[in-house]
Chains A and B, each alone.
Chain A
């Protein structure tokens, strides 16, 4: 009887709390038509400074015709995971091409960029292992770490001294318990170009630390693949490091390659393991063949035109210089990084107000023909929430006039809104 009463009395919370109508993330910008260089946002035509279309391949005719040919041959979907008749010859070809391009032994493809690193980390790092992660790691890495149930140790962003301190602490721990130390795997997870801050990671020092303390390195190259390096091979080419020194390179194909999905590459010893234990690989449908064909064609273009990388870098330097000296906004990011942030020099107290202020700057620019966006985060879920900022993305298709126009418009907007 008592039980019946308890069941009657219990009231659960509502399934979801209600969201206020003017929440900044609720009202999406509606893009009509293709999100290419000239983009129509909410009815207005603007120049696109917000999509990660670094090499301008989204609208490329060769890429589109390769995808069309694949569509005529295979249809749209693959109707199955890789293990059950979902492996197409295009997937195998794309994996071979990626491995050859990055000069590694093997590559593996995932059908979703977020799932790539979020499935790769838990395949190797289990409960009891130790992972040293940079504070500014992106959300996908954080979810991968959470799924792996390992011990996470955060070190300050790009601070090698802090990382060395943590590694030394771990070494003294190991000496107390050598048996356990012999089976505890250690990893360092870093990004080539950080999405949240636009900085580059100091890879040569990391390699030295790797051999000194015997830790493996996982490198996430979503923003640096197709951007850094003489031929676009990423941060390893940029610093001239032997690619075998990095245990696993993971990147998504959604930025430079203008397709969907992601890949991991490295030695067969490491990559082959993911074919049976990568959750996003085994339990999910494979990448639609038209997107794989688009990626192969994009790779062809990258290999045939190695000078676009230098062009992109020049443009980034140009705008980096042009945006200096805007009153009220500071530029965050390396001079050759194509994805910059503009943060407020002084915060006006609360994050909400900062976001509102930046929204007014963005709206001013959109009304005058430059499409920008704020960097979106899930405020309650991030481990180290970056400050609110405007994301500025440089692509090869933007001309110097357009870059100048954007810079001057931002100056105007900052003047009128922030003063």
Chain B
């Protein structure tokens, strides 16, 4: 409450984010659970080493037994003893469009998940709450698919050359102009992989002698890009503006660590929606800070483009801000547009520089033409330029689905993290045994969910993550909610002690920052 009042007119709409504290009993039980698993892990490793139990790991070649071992035993402890037990919750193979309903290939394991065999049966019509299909463009019929088919028969599937050599097709130019218009920036450039967009362009923008301020929970691609650039990295607490301001002040006042020379540039790395927490970045405050301290902002809209904002233009539109305030707008086409790849948008000088100096433009193959066509058609649909209102309707449907789903889950008594408007809904599970149980029980009831544990999340905060889609109808959501309710009662997942009253902010606390120099 204190933040919103303090920042006065920066927020044009209420910003409701909640991260309910872990109940003490649950935390203790979770630690006990992991302790038991670790003990058993040691016991099993001991038995395997003394050949009492059969070792089912793949092993090194006979001829290479005296080489330095490739993996340290300890590195794989977690893998062998904890991950293997619940491995069937991940890498589930599907054999249809990843839309609102999906068909999955059935697989069984006769040796406790060490190997899988496919029975040949297909489980049909599983409600898909795991794919990143926010606007429902993962379709096998429709305008997008027809356009992509036409382009495929005309251009072929591959390109076989890089952008700077012979791989720059007229389709790529069309796409980039369209994306720039969609975002409201001067110019844009598209790349073949979202992960690579971050890891190859951040090093082109900053180098040694620059400072990167990165959020605690940034995605692996941002972290890799920051490391590869060679700049100094400092981390601020997740979405915490006091921490960020403190870092900025200290950086400018004290300069570089040993030499005290002023920093060349400061770059702030944030994401639009954080996929593990479901929280939305406090963009108005970040922009105010950025302007006050003359630094640059790199916004990664992987999950928020297409999913937020009244016309789907992302977190900038959601807050009603000016896209020109964000120096580098990055995003991916995998999630809301049903294709693959990433883009960067910004001023013309920035994009010209990236066309010349980006690693991807010089060394990586350009995007495949049918994928480009899918993006062009879906962007036109969202903007309404194809003559229909399908795009607008989908964006609204997604917003309604989000609000409805989150409200119902909170009413049932689950602990849900994140902002009220974010279509990524993390439901807390905490205990390691419940991770596997939740995934399997939901699959028995024909609902596909995603569960995440360590190391993607802190060790006691494992969760199930639902990704809502505009393709989910109210009936599907109701079915899903009913099943989640049942499973929640069965596994005793309804931890929440506060019903219907969301905490507005994390409490303000004096923060200390860590300095990581690479």
Which A residues form the contact surface with B (CB < 8 A)? 3, 6-7, 10-19, 23, 25-26, 28-36, 39, 41, 48, 50-53, 58-59, 63-64, 67-68, 71-80, 82-89, 91-92, 111-115, 118, 124, 138-140, 143, 146-147, 181-186, 211, 214-216, 244, 252, 254-255, 257-260, 267-270, 272-273, 275-276, 279-280, 282-285, 287-288, 290-291, 294, 371, 373-378, 381, 391
Contact = CB atoms under 8 A, between A and B. Distances in A.
Contact of A83 (B90, B262, B263, B296): B90
Given A87-B94, A244-B61, A276-B79, A15 B265 contact: yes
B159 A76 contact: no
A288 B158 contact: no
Contacts of A31: 166-170
Interface string B166-184: 1111100100000000000
Contact of B160 (A64, A84, A254): A254
Contact of B158 (A260, A276, A282): A260
B252 A75 contact: no
B60 interface: yes
Contact of B364 (A64, A114, A186, A257): A114
A73 B96 contact: yes
Given A10-B252, A71-B148, A284 B195 contact: yes
B131 A288 contact: no
Given A6-B252, A18-B349, A26-B356, A76 B145 contact: yes
A30 B173 contact: yes
A35 B157 contact: no
B159 A35 contact: yes
A16 B355 contact: no
B224 interface: yes
Contacts of A284: 193-196, 221
A371 B72 CA distance: 51
Contacts of A215: 67
Contacts of B158: 53, 58, 254, 257-260, 291, 294
Question: Lowest 5 A-B CB distances belong to which pairs?
Answer: A284-B195, A112-B193, A16-B353, A269-B58, A28-B168
B67 A51 contact: no
Interface in B176-232: 192-196, 199-200, 205, 219-221, 224, 227-228
Nearest to A245: B63
B133 A28 contact: no
Interface string B127-160: 0101111000111100011001100111111111
28 contacts: A10-B252, A12-B295, A15-B265, A25-B361, A28-B355, A32-B169, A50-B165, A51-B160, A53-B160, A58-B158, A63-B156, A67-B152, A68-B153, A71-B148, A77-B137, A79-B131, A79-B338, A85-B130, A85-B450, A87-B92, A87-B94, A114-B364, A115-B196, A143-B200, A182-B68, A260-B158, A260-B368, A291-B158
Given A25-B164, A31-B170, A114 B360 contact: yes
Contacts of B50: none
A92 B93 contact: yes
A6 B253 contact: yes
A48 B145 CA distance: 30
A391 B367 CA distance: 21
B365 interface: yes
Contact of A28 (B128, B131, B164): B164
Contacts, number: 348
Interface of B: 58-61, 63-64, 66-72, 79, 83, 90-99, 102, 105, 128, 130-133, 137-140, 144-145, 148-149, 152-170, 173, 192-196, 199-200, 205, 219-221, 224, 227-228, 249, 252-253, 262-266, 293-296, 327-328, 332-335, 337-340, 349-350, 352-357, 359-365, 367-371, 374, 448, 450
A116 B206 CA distance: 24
A269 B60 contact: yes
Given A6-B253, A7-B253, A17-B353, A48 B166 contact: yes
B195 A19 contact: no
Given A12-B263, A79-B133, A186-B68, A33 B154 contact: yes
Contacts of A58: 156-158, 160
Given A85-B128, A283-B195, A270 B70 contact: yes
Contacts of A184: 68
A276 B71 CA distance: 13
A15 B157 contact: no
Contacts of A78: 98, 131, 334, 340
Contacts of A10: 252, 262, 294
Contacts of A275: 91
Contact of A74 (B67, B97, B337): B97
B363 A138 contact: yes
A417 B78 CA distance: 64
B166 A29 contact: yes
A301 to B, nearest CB: 13
Nearest to A281: B195
Nearest to A26: B356
Nearest to A297: B157
A77 B338 contact: yes
Q: Which of A17, A140, A378 has the most CB of B within 10 A?
A: A378
Contacts of B355: 25-26, 28
B368 A288 contact: yes
B249 A59 contact: no
A34 B156 contact: yes
Given A64-B153, A76-B338, 7 more contacts: A15-B327, A33-B170, A68-B153, A76-B370, A87-B92, A92-B93, A254-B158
B38 to A, nearest CB: 19
B334 A35 contact: no
A383 to B, nearest CB: 14
A257 B374 CA distance: 22
Contacts of B371: 76-77, 288
Contacts of B334: 77-79, 285
Contact of B374 (A41, A76, A255): A76
Nearest to A376: B164
B294 A143 contact: no
Nearest to A280: B195
Contacts of B160: 35, 51-53, 58, 254-255, 258
B165 A391 contact: yes
Contacts of B72: 183
Nearest to A186: B68
Contact of A114 (B94, B96, B140, B196): B196
Contacts of B69: 185
Nearest to A272: B58
Q: Which of A25, A48, A72, A79 has the most CB of B within 10 A?
A: A79
Nearest to B339: A77
Given A85-B94, A258-B156, A216 B70 contact: yes
Nearest to A377: B362
Contacts of B263: 12
Nearest to B332: A285
Contact of B192 (A17, A124, A260, A267): A260
Nearest to B294: A12
A32 B328 CA distance: 29
A72 B370 CA distance: 13
B155 A34 contact: yes
Given A3-B249, A75-B145, A77-B338, A143 B359 contact: yes
A147 B196 CA distance: 13
A67 B157 contact: yes
Contacts of B359: 114, 139, 143, 378, 381
A34 B154 contact: yes
A8 B317 CA distance: 30
A77 B164 CA distance: 26
